[in-house]
Structure 1
Amino acid sequence: MNQHVNHTAADAIAIENLDVVFGQHSEKATIRLDQGKTRQEIIDETGLVVGVNNVSLTVKEGEICVLMGLSGSGKSSLLRAVNGLNPITRGSLKVKHGQDFVDVANCDAETLRTLRTQRVSMVFQTFALMPWLSVLDNVAFGLEMQGMAKKERRQHAHNQLEMVGLAEWQNKYPHELSGGMQQRVGLARAFAMDSDILLMDEPFSALDPLIRTQLQDELLALQKKLNKTILFVSHDLDEALKIGNRIAIMESGQLIQHSRPEEIVLQPKTDYVREFVAHTNPLNVLKGRSLMKPIDELPRQEGRWQISQYHDLWLENQNGELVIQGSASLKTVHWEQHHDITALDKHCIILASPDIEMRDAIEIRYLTGHPVVLVEDGQLVGILSDNNFYHALLGKYNQTAKVA
């Protein structure tokens, strides 16, 4: 079934009803797709492989969208269609260039070359560094292809290596660097092109877990500075939940669910997605809103709510101000304005946004010994206590929670 996508000025990539078929006479496959035949049936009947089947997807500017699925799900096939490495059989794939959109499915060779050199860069799983070039010249290579003068491109490459912490290695050769360092060079080379869109094909999967985690953190730090549009392929759900603003899960060439990380975990659309999230680490994705005991479940008495039975603590709205009452004398701390978590102690009670991350909420609960009070628009909406955290860690989420 065709799906119509209304792309806007805020979109960087707009994909509509996209098919990618590998092999000659692809119409044999598309005819069978329209008949509702499966990928395996098409392979058996024609020998053709359907890499992408009727996918519609938009990626916003400045967003990290993670494509994920099992091997053969079509995630890399879709990624490589964005810069024309995989030919598009049917449908449209539009990439924003300036104020206009270029349809990669129908553009000429010169336009595609312009997109690859000015608009879209790619980071590969295997680093793809040239062993005969120094680290600096590897980073500068794309700039040389753009025609940038040697002095200027080497200075630009040096700046990018400084950004990823490898400036002192610029005169070394790739074989002298560890795998994690080589991947940093690959990142620096992509960033050096100053492309607005980065395509990253499982860039960290060949690395040791500790190095992979470190590079994920570094990518997020760089993203805060550079605000690129990133389409990132991964088979690791914890990685996807950690770095993705949105996650697109694929199966047999089809897009099964495209949602925010919390929605993927809390509201899986199919059994396939449900199996994916069954063993995920909730600390990486869940927020207070989906864990909390909501206000309508709290004991209420004379216009005030009980937020801790153990300490007999109550919260009351007095002339628009939330006031804690109880046997203990506590300092009320607004978490949005508080940055030093180590300063918290048993004399503090925290008022936080319902979008607080689970990790932060657990640490606050540990340091203060009190529930975390969740407030939105100046109103109490719920609390987080030990039971909420235990339920989350056991996978017993509030499945009906509103995901903002």
Structure 2
Amino acid sequence: MRHACVEFNSTRLFHNLSLDLGAGSFTCLLGPSGVGKSTLLRFLAGLVGHDAASGTVTCSDGKALNDRVAYMAQQDLLLPWRSVRENVVLGAVLRGEKPDLARADHLIAEVGLQKARHMRPAELSGGMKQRAALARTLMEDRPVVLMDEPFSALDPLNRMRIQDLAARVLHGKTVLLVTHDPLEALRVGHKVMVLQGSPATLSDAVIPDGHIPRDITDPVILRHQAELLQQLGALSSQGDRSDLEEASQ
């Protein structure tokens, strides 16, 4: 991504922002709420209108990115009248393709929803809906995957299990994952970056050692977590002070 500029309601989120995603690797993005993390994903996915944005997104092989992206939003976006299985194969149906039901059932089982595959979203918990949305994203099998807090609604044990699944199933794909959890970013990310400021800028990448998913008890990982928390805490404090100063004026 080069020279990205995005503006909404006269507020400039990005100005001349550039980002490189390493092919076949996980990049994790942290940052305070409202800084533009979700907008960055939407920009890469081509979902921000040209009237609000400018800049370029290119691939090193020269091919267009548009039809090579799977995008998982914060909301599960499941169609309420379709079962879990029907939602998982929705992409193929919308493209007029014959769904691979065997692969869909395999992914549904992988995310722990085998017994719920014929249930509709109203019958599912929030965590189950998010797992169904993850299975739908994995079903697309695209080389580039954009994920917006994909594990946020899961309890800690399921969260780690699904992180393991994502690291395994998405191995070799180019992934950008937005999260609010520094430890999650360090567990599954080949590199971790912080989006900060207004207009937003990107920090230098933290590149942890070791293979993903990493051991969260590793002292080096915990040290990186403390560094990221300190950085995010400092950003939050600065934001709070700015809000107070603005209110006082």
1:21 paired residue number? 7
Residues 1:286 and 2:220 aligned together: yes
The residue type equivalent to 2:7 in the other structure is V
2:230 paired residue number? none
133-142 vs 236-245, which moves further: 236-245
Question: Shift of the alpha carbon at 1:129?
Answer: 1.0
* Residue number among 125, 134, 140 corresponding to 2:74 in the alignment: 125
1:246 paired residue number? 191
Residues 1:93 and 2:57 aligned together: yes
Aligned-partner Cα distance in 1 for 2:187–2:216: 10
Question: Shift of the alpha carbon at 1:207?
Answer: 3.3
The residue type equivalent to 2:200 in the other structure is Q
The root-mean-square deviation of aligned C-alpha atoms, in Å, is: 2.8
Specify whether residues 164 and 67 from structure 1 end up closer, same or farther in structure 2 by C-alpha distance, changes over 3 A only: same
Long gaps (5+) in structure 2: 210-214, 228-249
**Structure number with bigger Rg:** 1
1:162 paired residue number? 109
Aligned-partner Cα distance in 2 for 1:163–1:62: 22
Aligned-partner Cα distance in 2 for 1:159–1:211: 18
1:212 paired residue number? 159
Q: Deviations over 1:294-337 (max 9, x none)?
A: xxxxxxxxxxxxxxxxxxxxxxxxxxxxxxxxxxxxxxxxxxxx
Give the share of equivalent positions with the same residue, in percent.
Answer: 33
1:332 paired residue number? none
The residue type equivalent to 2:183 in the other structure is D
Instruction: Answer yes or no: is the 8 Å Cα contact 1:140–1:156 preserved in 2.
Output: no
Aligned-partner Cα distance in 1 for 2:188–2:131: 17
* Residue number among 75, 91, 105 corresponding to 1:142 in the alignment: 91
The residue type equivalent to 2:47 in the other structure is L
Q: Secondary structure at the match of 2:88?
A: helix
* Displaced runs of 4 or more, over 4 A: none
Q: Secondary structure at the match of 1:239?
A: helix
Residues 1:77 and 2:39 aligned together: yes
The residue type equivalent to 2:25 in the other structure is E
Q: How does 1:145-294 map to 2 (within 5 A)?
A: 145-149=94-98, 152-224=99-171, 227-252=172-197, 253-262=199-208, 283=217, 286=220
Long gaps (5+) in structure 1: 1-14, 24-47, 105-114, 264-280, 288-357, 359-391, 397-404
Higher strand fraction (1 or 2): 1
Q: Secondary structure at the match of 2:184?
A: helix
Matched residue pairs, number?
218
Question: Shift of the alpha carbon at 1:153?
Answer: 3.6
Aligned-partner Cα distance in 1 for 2:155–2:111: 18
**What is the TM-score of this pair, normalised by structure 1?**
0.49
Instruction: Answer yes or no: is the 8 Å Cα contact 2:110–2:165 preserved in 1.
Output: no
Aligned-partner Cα distance in 1 for 2:219–2:12: 33
Aligned-partner Cα distance in 2 for 1:166–1:214: 13
The residue type equivalent to 1:237 in the other structure is P
Task: Flag the structure with more relative contact order, 1 or 2, with Cα contacts below 8 A and sequence separation at least 6.
Answer: 2
Q: Secondary structure at the match of 1:122?
A: strand
**What is the TM-score of this pair, normalised by structure 2?**
0.76
